[in-house]
Amino acid sequence: MRRTGLLRVALLFALGVAFPIEAALDYMLKPRKVAADTYVFVGLAEDFTRANGGNIVNTGFIVTADGVVVIDTGSSRLYGEQMRRAIAGVTDKPIRMVLVTHHHPDHYFGNQVFGDVTVMALPGSIGGMKQEGGAFADNLYRMAGDWMSGTEPVAARDEAKPGRMSIGGHDIELIALKGHTQADLVVFDRTSGVLFAGDLVFWQRAATTPHASVADWLAALEQIKALKWTTLVPGHGEPHGDARGIEQTRRYLTWLDATLRKAASDGLDMPELLRTRLPDDIAAIPLARQEFERSIAHLYRGFEQDEFDKRPTK
């Protein structure tokens, strides 16, 4: 919601106008057709705020002859409800299944409104949802406020099995990778050529790293690049038909890895590392400075430990 919309709502409350708070909270989800039968809700290249309510993630759906396949459910109960209404505006076919790419909350906190269908994720993602969902919810309530009303972190119930499956005339392949987290599900519709990369690919937004293994992530990017897709849907950023998101994500991660590795070798502490000047090409990526600072908190102690382990014992 735009800031003017929020100010208008505040004025109505001040004047004593009563209405359900959810009436003022509209994610304005517009399904964008990216291929035959395939749609994406494109999120903003921003952090969670009380203005955007967590509408920062790409979710999507595939309309098959046997029903709808949903990829990720968004950041709140409200997002999931509005997503279902938007899907119903495109097709009257029932939702057949939900595929969740990984356990970060902007990708699965809408799960609770899909309790009537199969909700699948990789086993590692299901474990992460169960272990960290409560902490995620506390943090998102703090950052997004009323948008999160009534949201409960509901883990996927069914394990996704890597491999190909035929659904309503679509040949859909589930690919298990890792790097952004320890369990990253890639959904490749070989019929339409659309690949949903989840957060293994970011475009025009710096990558987040709270559960990252950079080496595994870089290897996963090579595997994604080798697949014969025609449209790539990143977890964050505009869908596109070339490797630009892969290359930008790889460039950022390669720089991040080299910078943290050298800092650890040079014996820098975190405050010193925080003063690092970002190269122009890295600084040009939206939110690069913020994500670099977060990555220091997420990853740097591991690099320091690696450097310590290299030292000869006496």
pLDDT tens profile 223-251: 999 999 999 999 999 999 999 999 999 99
- Closest Cα partner for 124 from 10, 36, 213? 213
Statement: residue 23 has pLDDT above 90: no
Across residues 67-74, what is the average pLDDT? Answer: 98
Statement: residue 306 has pLDDT above 80: yes
Statement: residue 11 has pLDDT above 60: no
Domain that holds residue 221: 3-310
Supply the CATH number for residue 80's domain.
3.60.15.10
Q: How many domains does the chain have?
A: 1
What are 153-197's pLDDT values in tens digits? 999 999 999 999 999 999 999 999 999 999 999 999 999 999 999
Across residues 13-32, what is the average pLDDT? Answer: 66
Structure tokens given for 175: 């690919």
3-state DSSP assignment of residue 245: helix
Which spans in the chain are helix H? 3-14, 77-88, 105-108, 123-144, 214-226, 244-266, 270-274, 280-283, 288-310
Model pLDDT, residue 314: 60
- Please state whether the predicted TM-score (pTM) of the whole model is above 0.85: yes
What are 246-265's pLDDT values in tens digits? 999 999 999 999 999 999 99
Model pLDDT, residue 311: 73
- Closest Cα partner for 83 from 46, 122, 104, 54? 54
Per residue in 2-38, is it b (16+ CB within 10 Å) or e — as a string?
eeeeeeebeeeeeeeeeeeeeebbebebebeebbebb
Model pLDDT, residue 312: 72
Statement: residue 309 has pLDDT above 90: no
Of 4-8, 48-52, 266-270, the range with the lowest mean pLDDT is: 4-8
Q: How confident is the model at residue 24 (pLDDT cuts 50, 70, 90)?
A: confident
Nearest-5° Cα angle at 248, 272 to 269: 10
- Closest Cα partner for 208 from 39, 27, 48? 48
For residue 137, count CB atoms less than 10 angstroms from its CB and return exposed for 0-12, middle for 13-18, buried for 19 or more: middle
Statement: residue 56 has pLDDT above 80: yes
Statement: residue 47 has pLDDT above 60: yes
Return left, alpha or beta for 298; rule: phi > 0 is left, psi -120 to 50 is alpha, else beta.
alpha
Backbone torsions φ then ψ of 38, nearest 5 degrees:
-125, 130
Model pLDDT, residue 237: 97
Q: Give how far Cα 212 sits from Cα of 207, 237, 314, Å.
A: 10, 19, 33
Model pLDDT, residue 35: 98
